[in-house]
């Protein structure tokens, strides 16, 4: 890839924006008040803003391998704290994707060094749903189902945070589990029942 091309692209983009609105960047510099926190995979094919059709300023974005929300991960926890507690987003989205390399790696026996503890979180999702997953004979179907179950478990991890539980007490805030299907380009809403999950989570994880 020619990196000079990137700077040329950037110049074209700046010009395009300024042609429509001469104050575009001046206004962007004043601050942000996004309504959505999007937590997705770092996969190069799953471009958060482009697949959602949102503009700069509309979505606070966090991406890591396999769209994880481990409770000991300072990075994702800080993002949730800031977006929910300070930016006061009304929607938190965890978006997984079919054919996720991170999920695939967690299904196979391999020592991947520093990735082991990260992917261990996905193996834990597998263990939690072992009966259902082992009941799926087709490997691709099983792989896709683990992607979905991982999204649901990461939604639960968002709900387990103190900042989310506090926010849910005093405003309308929802967690959504989505999957992006790379094969069709379509975004699928898993339609999780976040209110029921919140009740279930709070039985054990109540922090406020
Ligand atoms: Co992925």
CA–centroid distance, residue 65 to ligand 1 (Å): 6
Residue 102, domain member (yes or no): yes
The number of folded domains in the chain is: 1
> Integer distance in angstroms from the first to the last C-alpha of the chain?
50
Confidence check: pLDDT of 93 > 90: yes
For this structure, is 97 an active site residue?
Answer: yes
Residue-wise pLDDT for 180-202, tens only, equals: 999 999 999 999 998 999 999 88
Give the pLDDT confidence of 132-166 residue by residue, as tens digits.
Answer: 999 999 999 999 999 999 999 999 999 999 999 99
Catalytic, out of 43, 62, 95, 129: 43
**Residue 112 placed within a domain:** yes
Classify residue 107: in a domain, yes or no: yes
pLDDT the model gives residue 205:
85
Between 95-99, 128-132, 193-197, the lowest mean confidence (pLDDT) is in 193-197
Please tell me whether residue 11 adopts helix, strand or coil conformation. Answer: helix
| Residue 53 within any structural domain of the chain | yes
pLDDT tens-place string over residues 20-75 = 999 999 999 999 999 999 999 999 999 999 999 999 999 999 999 999 999 999 99
Query: pLDDT confidence of 203, banded at 50, 70, 90?
Result: confident
Give me the domain span that covers residue 158.
31-199
In a domain, 25, yes or no: no
Residues 113 and 154: their CA atoms lie apart, in Å, by 23
CATH number of domain containing 53: 3.40.1050.10
- For the stretch 13-19, contacts whose Cβ atoms lie closer than 8 Å and that sit 24 or more positions apart, written own/partner, are none
pTM of the model: 0.95
Residue 1 located in a structural domain: no
- Contacts of residue 16, Cβ cutoff 8 Å, sequence gap at least 6: none
Q: CB–CB of 120/105 below 8 Å?
A: no
Beta bridge mates, 80:
none
CA of 202 to the centre of ligand 1 (A): 29
Instruction: Decide if 10 is inside a domain.
Output: no
User: Pairing between strand 91-97 and 36-41?
Assistant: parallel
Of 45, 120, 171, 206, the active-site residue reads 45
19 part of a folded domain: no
Q: Indicate if the pLDDT at residue 206 is higher than 90.
A: no
Residues whose Cβ atom is located within 5 A of ion ligand 1: 41, 43, 100, 102
What is residue 47's predicted lDDT score, i.e. its pLDDT? 95
Residue 35, C-beta contacts closer than 8 angstroms, at least 6 positions apart:
58, 59, 89, 90, 91
């Amino acid at each position: 890839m020619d990196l000079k091309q990137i700077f040329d692209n950037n110049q074209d983009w700046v010009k395009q924006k300024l042609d429509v609105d001469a104050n575009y960047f001046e206004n962007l510099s004043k601050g942000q008040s996004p309504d959505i926190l999007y937590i997705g995979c770092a996969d190069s094919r799953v471009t958060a803003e482009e697949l959602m059709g949102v503009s700069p300023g509309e979505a606070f974005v966090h991406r890591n391998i396999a769209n994880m929300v481990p409770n000991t991960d300072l990075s994702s926890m800080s993002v949730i704290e800031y977006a929910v507690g300070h930016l006061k987003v009304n929607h938190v989205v965890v978006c997984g994707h079919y054919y996720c390399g991170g999920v695939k790696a967690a299904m196979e026996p391999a020592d991947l060094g520093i990735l082991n503890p990260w992917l261990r979180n996905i193996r834990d999702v597998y263990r939690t749903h072992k009966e259902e997953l082992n009941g799926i004979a087709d490997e691709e179907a099983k792989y896709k189902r683990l992607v979905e179950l991982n999204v649901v478990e990461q939604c639960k991890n968002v709900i387990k945070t103190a900042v989310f539980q506090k926010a849910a007490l005093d405003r309308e805030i929802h967690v959504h589990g989505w999957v992006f299907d790379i094969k069709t380009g379509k975004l699928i809403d898993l339609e999780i029942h976040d209110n029921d999950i919140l009740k279930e989570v709070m039985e054990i994880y109540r922090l406020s």
